[in-house]
Structure 1
Amino acid sequence: MRIMNKSRWPLAGFAFFLLLEHAGRDFSLIPEGPELRRHVTRAKAANTMELSPVHTEFPRALVKSAYIDEEAVETACAALAVNVLKGNVGQVEALMVVLRSMMPPEDGAAKAQGPPPFATLEKSELVWSEHDYMSGPQENLRILQSYEAEYARRVSFSEEGFRDPKVLAGALDLAVAYLKNYAVDKADALYAATEPYCMERGLPWDVKWLQDCATLRCKQQRQPEAAVLLEEVAKRTPPHPATLNNLGTVYNMMRDHEKAQEYFLAAQQVAGHEEPDKDDLWNMGIAKKHLGQYEEALPMLLKALEGWKTEEPDDDVTIAKLHDTVGSCFDLMGRYEEAVEQFASARLLFGRSIGADSPLYGSACEGLTKALLHAGRYVEAFDRLEETFLNHAQKDAIHPTPIFELLGLALEEFVDRGGVDPLELQRLEAPMEIAVKNMVYRGLDKDGNAGVVFERMAQVLLRCSMAQGDEARQRSAARRRELARSLLGRAAPLVEETTRSGEADLSHISALITMELQALDAQDAVYRKALGSAGLGAPALSL
């Protein structure tokens, strides 16, 4: 899957209008005009003016901060700093609520603010998002955290928060840096906080926010929302190749490939390319691949790959993405060994540049898993399946569907058809626990989708947990059966409610749950008979 191109801004079209409107003005920060200063002066006077006798019959708290305990505030702030360093999210949230509640009370008149002073958004000032982040996961993290520290200091020296254009620009800059590192939770928090301030300022702040938030939504697998945001960008700006290409990418991800192809062609025309460049070839190649036009798609994709290798040989991430795309085309054409070679190259480049935690690395592993599987190389394929599953299990944008599909591959393709020893499935136990906890944390454990995934997890655990072998093996199997029982206990009411509500008929899943619980009872009975009941009772999944 190709993530939207972040190297271009769709701002060129309206930059000219901004230049005309504000020619000769200081583009870094325009001071307040006299009219706005008069409003501010009157507002301050209203808050400090003496009250007439009509309002003095009963006492009023005229000094709102008179009794705030400064020492308590300092103690809470010190504790906040300690818990940020510890990564104690729950305590940080509690302390922030407490500190906010201790601020002096204000009425609406005191909170009212005039429009923010005009300020431009200069691309040259957005340096954190321009870093390539291809130095390996540890160094990438160090660099990102240094930018976080720099931004924290910038905010600390401001007094207006996101109304300060330098603070707002820094938030947008850091958010894209997060996107490049797939720290989507952190990016989401920044976009949620900055939306009203960017919309209030208008061009180019609003378009920057819309475009970048659309990229976030794609990384969160929320493509319909991304399409809405990008369509809004198209309404607010003249036609621009980057906007059209991004729309094509989103519609490709939504499987509307004909519409995607239209946008890619429009982007090529707006850019004035008589012959497609390497980006055009890549985009059109992806669309044709999804349309099943492999013989047309493959030459385009190979030419795009060679173009990137020739013109930008150090761009490991983009070249890896192209290897991944070419590999998927080979795999769909039944040219499995060539697909393996392409996916292996993508995995290597992603691994050394951005690390094994990146979803891009997981995508290459997933493609390699399937290509090896199709080539009949089951042992190698299962190693990559294990990597892929962990990658999906721990990422910010976890989604039940790929988890379910990978477990299906493990059961049906590897064990049932490929003859892989069912005991190999126990390698997925720890990643499954991570996936469940991640789903619970993100509130993805409350519907029928979660129920179906939990049943599939329990099925995998049951297949590798027969009451056989020596004592150590039996104890290990008993622990996995207890985990399977816990998962089925979670799955049953979710599946039943989905069927009862008419949302979907999952009665067949309910029947599977019943049979699996019976199988667990039978295996536990064998275990008790062999080793005694003292060996049973391993803890269930702790959440």
Structure 2
Amino acid sequence: MATASQTTKGQLDWFDSWDIGKLAAARGYRDGDQEAFRRGRALVERALEMHIEAEPQDLVMRAKVHDSLAECFLVSEEYPKAETHYRAAYDLLLQTVGAQSPLFGKQARHMANLYIAQGEHEQALPFLGEALAVESSKDAVNVNELMELVDVVVNAQQRSSSDAVEAVASNHLSLKRLQQNIKSRELDDSKEYAVLCHKMSLLYLHEGRKDPEAIRRGRNLAKISVRLLRQFREDKDAADWLKMSELHLRLLDSIRQRPQTELDS
């Protein structure tokens, strides 16, 4: 693993190059100084080369440097190079820490962000599903962060074809674990959880074509959302969400009454 940063013969070691390069690139990008941004990025590129040579067995740290370099290419909209480095980091973390690690979940989210930035929402869906699987099982569960992630998944589904949504694995197991996780920590009685239930219900709605049970699950969540939001109706934000949730629940009620053949068409 990485040791404390050192300099040898007046030159930066790989850790110094990575650390300073990230900071310089971020400041250059913030200030609109392209020359400074490129200098910082070049330091990160050099850090990757040096790390591979100095610590070839430390694949987790190599993934982190790949990820930093990918971000530099992402913000400059050099998407093919960003994909090369994001993919390298993704593959290394899957190989080392595994698909349930928070590090891998974060990397899957970065892959999804790359495709979303290019308007390729269908490509993002599998990676969002992997990120959701990790987040749903984390010990330090955060309802607001989960709400944001589920919202991104729903938006990606809405911008994808029905065939693309059907082609990816269902998110049901992740959503089931998510609900169990939140309930076990007694976080299931807040306005934020009510909004999360509404968003999870939307996610199930988009999966309803390939799984009839998804509509029932979505309706159950919509009912929980409406029930909780009615307890906070004096709050303007909650009242606005309540209107949307009640409308969504009525939609799901109408869908349940349709014949399955009509849903499949």
TM-score norm. by structure 2 comes to 0.81
Residues of 2 paired with 1:289 and 1:435: CA distance?
37
Aligned counterparts, 1:161-310, within 5 A: 276-291=12-27, 292-293=29-30, 294-310=37-53
Residues of 2 paired with 1:431 and 1:450: CA distance?
16
Residues of 2 paired with 1:353 and 1:282: CA distance?
21
> Could you tell me whether the CA contact under 8 Å between 1:368 and 1:384 is conserved in 2?
yes
Residues of 2 paired with 1:284 and 1:430: CA distance?
42
Aligned counterparts, 1:103-118, within 5 A: none
Q: Offset at 1:491? A: 2.3
Residues of 2 paired with 1:438 and 1:519: CA distance?
28
Q: Offset at 1:362? A: 1.2
Give the 3 Å change call, closer, same or farther, for CA 514–281 of structure 1 in structure 2.
same
> Could you tell me whether the CA contact under 8 Å between 2:124 and 2:156 is conserved in 1?
no
Q: Offset at 1:367? A: 1.0
Do residues 484 (structure 1) and 227 (structure 2) align? no
Q: Offset at 1:456? A: 0.5
Letter in 2 for 1:480: A
Residues of 1 paired with 2:229 and 2:49: CA distance?
49
Specify every segment of 5 or more residues in structure 1 that has no aligned partner in the other structure, as ranges: 9-240, 242-267, 467-472, 531-543
Q: Offset at 1:372? A: 2.9
Q: Percent identity over the alignment?
A: 20
The correspondence for 2:61, drawn from 302, 318, 323, is 318
Aligned counterparts, 1:63-462, within 5 A: 276-291=12-27, 292-293=29-30, 294-375=37-118, 377-416=120-159, 418-421=160-163, 422-423=165-166, 427-462=170-205
Residues of 1 paired with 2:187 and 2:25: CA distance?
32
Letter in 1 for 2:216: E
Residues of 2 paired with 1:489 and 1:459: CA distance?
12
Q: Offset at 1:414? A: 4.2
Aligned to 1:133: none
> Could you tell me whether the CA contact under 8 Å between 2:219 and 2:253 is conserved in 1?
no
- Considering only aligned residues, what root-mean-square deviation do their CA atoms show, in Å? 3.3
Letter in 1 for 2:199: R
Residues of 2 paired with 1:518 and 1:283: CA distance?
53
Give the 3 Å change call, closer, same or farther, for CA 304–6 of structure 1 in structure 2.
closer
Q: Which SS does the other structure have where 2:186 is aligned?
A: coil
Do residues 525 (structure 1) and 261 (structure 2) align? no
Output one character per residue of 1:113-141: Cα deviation in whole Å (capped at 9) or x when no partner: xxxxxxxxxxxxxxxxxxxxxxxxxxxxx
> Could you tell me whether the CA contact under 8 Å between 1:459 and 1:484 is conserved in 2?
yes
Q: Which SS does the other structure have where 1:485 is aligned?
A: helix
Residues of 1 paired with 2:40 and 2:178: CA distance?
35
TM-score norm. by structure 1 comes to 0.42
> Could you tell me whether the CA contact under 8 Å between 1:457 and 1:487 is conserved in 2?
yes
Residues of 2 paired with 1:6 and 1:434: CA distance?
35
> Could you tell me whether the CA contact under 8 Å between 1:394 and 1:434 is conserved in 2?
yes
When you count helix as a share of all residues, which structure comes out higher? 2
Q: Offset at 1:313? A: 1.2
> Could you tell me whether the CA contact under 8 Å between 1:485 and 1:517 is conserved in 2?
yes
Letter in 2 for 1:279: F
Q: Offset at 1:289? A: 4.9
Give the 3 Å change call, closer, same or farther, for CA 366–490 of structure 1 in structure 2.
same
Residues of 2 paired with 1:498 and 1:367: CA distance?
35
> Could you tell me whether the CA contact under 8 Å between 2:194 and 2:228 is conserved in 1?
yes
Residues of 1 paired with 2:2 and 2:16: CA distance?
15
Give the 3 Å change call, closer, same or farther, for CA 528–323 of structure 1 in structure 2.
closer
Do residues 514 (structure 1) and 257 (structure 2) align? no
Aligned to 1:32: none
Q: Which SS does the other structure have where 1:444 is aligned?
A: coil
Residues of 2 paired with 1:462 and 1:414: CA distance?
10
Residues of 2 paired with 1:445 and 1:402: CA distance?
15
Residues of 2 paired with 1:529 and 1:374: CA distance?
37
> Could you tell me whether the CA contact under 8 Å between 2:112 and 2:127 is conserved in 1?
yes
